[in-house]
């Protein structure tokens, strides 16, 4: 069998690096580049040694598993060793998937797949380009899933009544939101005005948009300046008729004030209110 050394070096170094990066991102672990490069180089070294070792079947499989474990040990520092098993499993998973991507690409180009990619007439640069593009896609997918998971964890379903209409709203727990109404000393829930606009008549809508509190028939209504997440500026603050956090079965009506935000709270959607830790703890 004819093996091109430069193919082995470039291909293994790049693919090992990408597999390690994917595994780290999946587990939300950070690591210095030099450790990733060192571990990739160790994997590449074993790729050179592998054809010289006369092993087959179960013994070859066990040897490859041990090589993967050695690579993982070069990646993780002492503080991260508690994640050893999870990282090892993630590394093996991405190794198998990456191999499948490479073989699938080669099969599309040549119509056949042999035991090694290096003896095939496939440009290594093109193969690595496909691998890099696939890695970018998976990284974005991991990021999207993690973001979705985090947002879901911090989103509470809330029933809000300002006057007559009971509106179901998703409220995002902003841990940095420690806003307190100066006039009443109660924590603030910031609500997207567009979500509750049906509870206001035309004159009141105009009053909210212009900041004219005298035309609003609400208890304790006043103007105050806030800053939280993506929204800031002066907002109208009023006392709600009813506020209930459904998951906690918690009635916060007497404990909070509501601020109306003219600007959307998020460009991506998913929630229309911001609550802080003080809201959940009742002040």
Question: 236 with 167: CB under 8 angstroms?
Answer: no
- Report pLDDT for 123: 67
Which three-class secondary structure state does DSSP give residue 258? strand
CA pseudo-torsion sign 34, 69, 26, 175: negative
Below-50 pLDDT ranges, the chain: 1-3, 116-119, 150-151
Orientation angle between helical segments 57-75 and 84-110, nearest 10 degrees: 120
How confident is the model over 176-192, as pLDDT tens digits?
Answer: 667 888 888 888 888 99
How confident is the model over 57-79, as pLDDT tens digits?
Answer: 788 888 889 989 999 999 988 77
* Residue whose C-alpha is closest to residue 102's, from 12, 35, 180, 169: 12
Quick check: pTM over 0.85? no
- Report pLDDT for 20: 92
- Report pLDDT for 74: 92
- Report pLDDT for 117: 47
* Residue whose C-alpha is closest to residue 26's, from 94, 79, 119: 94
């Amino acid at each position: 069998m004819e093996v091109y050394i430069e193919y082995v070096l470039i291909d293994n170094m790049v693919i090992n690096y990408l597999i390690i990066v994917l595994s780290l991102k999946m587990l939300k672990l950070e690591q210095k580049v030099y450790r990733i490069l060192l571990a990739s180089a160790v994997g590449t070294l074993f790729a050179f040694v592998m054809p010289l070792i006369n092993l087959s079947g179960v013994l070859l499989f066990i040897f490859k598993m041990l090589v993967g474990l050695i690579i993982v040990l070069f990646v993780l520092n002492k503080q991260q060793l508690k994640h050893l098993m999870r990282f090892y499993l993630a590394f093996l998973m991405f190794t198998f998937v990456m191999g499948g991507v490479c073989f699938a690409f080669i099969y599309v180009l040549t119509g056949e797949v042999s035991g090694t990619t290096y003896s095939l007439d496939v440009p290594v640069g093109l193969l690595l380009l496909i691998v890099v593009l696939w890695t970018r896609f998976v990284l974005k997918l991991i990021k999207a899933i993690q973001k979705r998971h985090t947002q879901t964890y911090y989103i509470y379903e809330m029933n809000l009544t300002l006057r007559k209409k009971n509106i179901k709203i998703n409220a995002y727990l902003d841990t940095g939101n420690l806003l307190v109404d100066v006039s009443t000393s109660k924590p603030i829930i910031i609500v997207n005005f567009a979500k509750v606009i049906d509870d206001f008549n035309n004159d009141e809508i105009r009053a909210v948009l212009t900041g004219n509190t005298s035309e609003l028939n609400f208890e304790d209504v006043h103007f105050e300046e806030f800053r939280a997440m993506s929204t800031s500026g002066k907002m109208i603050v009023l006392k709600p008729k009813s506020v209930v956090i459904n998951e906690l079965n918690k009635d916060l009506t007497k404990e909070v004030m509501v601020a109306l935000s003219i600007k959307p709270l998020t460009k991506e959607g998913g929630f229309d209110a911001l609550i802080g830790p003080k809201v959940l703890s009742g002040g």
